[in-house]
Structure 1
Amino acid sequence: MSPFDIVFGFGAHSGIDDIPELLRMAQQADRDGLDLFTLSDHPYIGGRLDAYAALGFILGRTQRIAGFANVTNLPTRPAPMLARTVTSLSALSEGRVVLGMGAGGLWDRITDMGVPRLSPGAAVDAFEEAIVLVKLLSGGGPPVTYQGTHYQVNKIEPAPVAAPPVWTGSVGPKSLAATGRVADGWIPGHAADWLSERYRTSRPIIDEAAASAGRAPSEIRTVFNLPGRITERPLPATRDRDGRWIGGSTGQWVEELTGAVLEHGASGFTLFTAGHDAPDHTLLARWAQEIAPAVREAVAKEIPVRLD
């Protein structure tokens, strides 16, 4: 995939009370040409929809847009069953699925679900094993026997469906290196953007691990969770005192995101409101109809120059 294939998505609400609005927003985004919608995965919260049940429902009511859990709560979803879930969703939706993957963050809540607690290092080991196993259990081929530290399967037939792209929410050095070795994309944590210290210090770890594994670092795309507002008039400053992006006019967004792609290797953006709420219909429409097409056009104009 070309590094200039930019994806644009939005973060949706997944509360049980939000179902009608969730569907309306996803269908609007689908009509307007967005690439992705994302849902959080917090199964210990009773008022939230199960992320994968919601993904299947929305994919069944849309035509082109892809969906993913941003990111999958892996400790509560064992890798062999997760492989069956994502390959089934991929088959049902004709490939409109991305596998967002996390090692597990809120361990106090995860253990409340009856899941044994793992140390941070063990959680990352299980995370890397899970990505490997999901890929082994996809794409057809002979039965798979896998004997890892955390996952063991014996003569399990892979699904005759390609594995979806795997994008991780890695934060620490060990999980970043795992991303470089086995994943297909990275979503920087804490809504860090391309000018942040987190990005500048984290992305080289991914790239070095990828190269050591014989992979081209460009194979691992970076997709940013990007909170912000779209204003009618330009803002005096598009970043706060800490240097974090806060938004601006359509022109300011287009200039910033185009630079992120051409100068910093960004390959996707998922829009959230500043409070990480779901965007409203007007915000979503401007994102899909004004900003995304303009960024794609601006980047396309630069490609011949960049490739000479």
Structure 2
Amino acid sequence: MTTKTLFGYGPGPDIPVTSAAALLRDAVRADDGGLDLISVTDHPYEGDRLEAYASLGAILGRTSKISAVATVTNLPVRPVPLLARTLTSLSALSGGRIVLGIGAGWRWDDIVRFGARELSPAAAVRSLEEGIILIKRLAGGGEPVTFEGEFHQVTDLAPAPVPVPRVWTGSVGPKSLAVTGRVADGWVVPHAADWSSPLYRESRPHIDDAAAAAGRDPAEIATIYNVLGRITADPLPSTRDESGRWIGGSAEQWTEELVLAARDHGANGFFFFFFDSDDPRSDLTLGRWTHEIVPAVRAALA
């Protein structure tokens, strides 16, 4: 069962090439501050943005303890065997500090512009499941793998002699959520929805039912949240807007809410997202998340 609550941060949905220095600076600060994870997004069709896996490699090279993940890898633009080799190589180079975040595909017009073939929603989900299975088979050592799937094929390919990485999906929709239950290790809740949202309440049972049907313990599949909101000097009158979405508050209000999420709603991890690493205020925001809120939540949960 997943027992440790993970804390990370994401420097925004798309990181401009011009923000490369800020990305690496903040990664080092997060590593020194004891955060568990840093996440980047994967939109390789944007020429003015940093590519996800190049960014992960640079981050892991600059840090010593923090793990890194793309939330989530755009599977349709990446050959699965090569993605598997990228992951196992990053794992070997970093001492196992890589997590695979993966999705079935998003923004198909852009994916097609990038040169990949468009898939129907049902086919994309089948490709996702095949891809996760093959990536896991191409790690952990053992006998050569031959895989003849509908979308992915390899012949007599030796697995890398490194452990199988954790696999988290960004699944949306019952069929994709069921894939998470059958073959993944965690779920990054999409659209920055939180533990009190209808999206979470309606989606998680699909994962649990599929896991149980596959003979897995649903509790082994982590639930990870992207949390957005302000960290304010003083408490806010309300920490949620009229729709019920979390908007933030003081460090004490954040602490109370995240402890509730972990204890009462089974949250296994949180990524704090902010959107402009070059904004001078980001230093203060990341610092308060790292040095005030995260230690307070960890102490309360301990």
Report the TM-score range of the alignment, normalised by the length of the smaller protein.
over 0.9
Whether the 8 Å CA contact 2:73–2:103 is kept in 1: the answer is yes
> What corresponds to 1:215 in structure 2?
216
Deviation sequence 1:113-157 (CA, Å, 0-9, x none): 111100000000000100000000000000001111111111100
Task: Find the aligned partners of 2:77 and 2:163 in 1 and give their Cα distance.
Answer: 23
> What corresponds to 1:17 in structure 2?
18
Task: Find the aligned partners of 1:154 and 1:2 in 2 and give their Cα distance.
Answer: 35
User: Unaligned stretches of 5+ in structure 2?
Assistant: none
**1:46 maps to amino acid:** G
> What corresponds to 1:304 in structure 2?
none
**2:85 maps to amino acid:** R
Task: Find the aligned partners of 1:282 and 1:181 in 2 and give their Cα distance.
Answer: 41
Task: Find the aligned partners of 1:134 and 1:175 in 2 and give their Cα distance.
Answer: 17
Task: Find the aligned partners of 2:104 and 2:294 in 1 and give their Cα distance.
Answer: 31
Task: Find the aligned partners of 1:296 and 1:98 in 2 and give their Cα distance.
Answer: 22
SS of the counterpart of 2:8? strand
Task: Find the aligned partners of 2:19 and 2:276 in 1 and give their Cα distance.
Answer: 12
Task: Find the aligned partners of 1:185 and 1:2 in 2 and give their Cα distance.
Answer: 10
What percentage of residue pairs aligned between the two structures are identical? 59
> What corresponds to 1:291 in structure 2?
293
SS of the counterpart of 2:246? coil
Task: Find the aligned partners of 1:95 and 1:291 in 2 and give their Cα distance.
Answer: 27
Task: Find the aligned partners of 1:105 and 1:98 in 2 and give their Cα distance.
Answer: 20
SS of the counterpart of 1:98? strand
> What corresponds to 1:104 in structure 2?
105
Could you tell me how far 1:26 is from its partner in structure 2? 0.4
> What corresponds to 2:2 in structure 1?
2
Could you tell me how far 1:2 is from its partner in structure 2? 3.5
SS of the counterpart of 2:219? helix
SS of the counterpart of 1:233? coil
**1:9 maps to amino acid:** G
**1:107 maps to amino acid:** W
Task: Find the aligned partners of 1:83 and 1:139 in 2 and give their Cα distance.
Answer: 11
**1:6 maps to amino acid:** T
Could you tell me how far 1:297 is from its partner in structure 2? 1.2
Deviation sequence 1:218-267 (CA, Å, 0-9, x none): 11000101111110110000001110000000110011000000100000
Task: Find the aligned partners of 1:111 and 1:2 in 2 and give their Cα distance.
Answer: 38
Could you tell me how far 1:87 is from its partner in structure 2? 0.5
SS of the counterpart of 1:281? helix
Task: Find the aligned partners of 1:167 and 1:80 in 2 and give their Cα distance.
Answer: 18
Task: Find the aligned partners of 2:2 and 2:191 in 1 and give their Cα distance.
Answer: 26
Could you tell me how far 1:106 is from its partner in structure 2? 0.4
CA RMSD, 1 decimal: 1.0
Whether the 8 Å CA contact 2:17–2:48 is kept in 1: the answer is yes
> What corresponds to 2:94 in structure 1?
93
Q: What does 1:171-186 align with in structure 2 at a 5 Å threshold?
A: 171-186=172-187
Whether the 8 Å CA contact 2:2–2:222 is kept in 1: the answer is no
Deviation sequence 1:156-202 (CA, Å, 0-9, x none): 00000112110100011100000000000001111000000000000
Superposition TM-score, scaled by structure 1 size: 0.95
SS of the counterpart of 1:127? helix
**1:44 maps to amino acid:** Y
1:224 equivalent to 2:225? Answer yes
Superposition TM-score, scaled by structure 2 size: 0.96
**2:157 maps to amino acid:** I
Deviation sequence 1:85-124 (CA, Å, 0-9, x none): 0010000000111100010010000000111100000000
Task: Find the aligned partners of 2:108 and 2:27 in 1 and give their Cα distance.
Answer: 30
User: Unaligned stretches of 5+ in structure 1?
Assistant: 301-308
Whether the 8 Å CA contact 2:2–2:221 is kept in 1: the answer is no
Could you tell me how far 1:277 is from its partner in structure 2? 4.3
Q: When the two structures are aligned, how many residues end up with a matched partner?
A: 297
Q: What does 1:2-151 align with in structure 2 at a 5 Å threshold?
A: 2-3=2-3, 5-13=4-12, 14-151=15-152
SS of the counterpart of 1:60? helix
Could you tell me how far 1:15 is from its partner in structure 2? 1.5
Deviation sequence 1:40-78 (CA, Å, 0-9, x none): 100100011111011101100111111111100100111
Task: Find the aligned partners of 2:163 and 2:273 in 1 and give their Cα distance.
Answer: 30
Task: Find the aligned partners of 1:272 and 1:246 in 2 and give their Cα distance.
Answer: 12
Whether the 8 Å CA contact 2:36–2:66 is kept in 1: the answer is yes
> What corresponds to 1:306 in structure 2?
none
Could you tell me how far 1:293 is from its partner in structure 2? 1.1
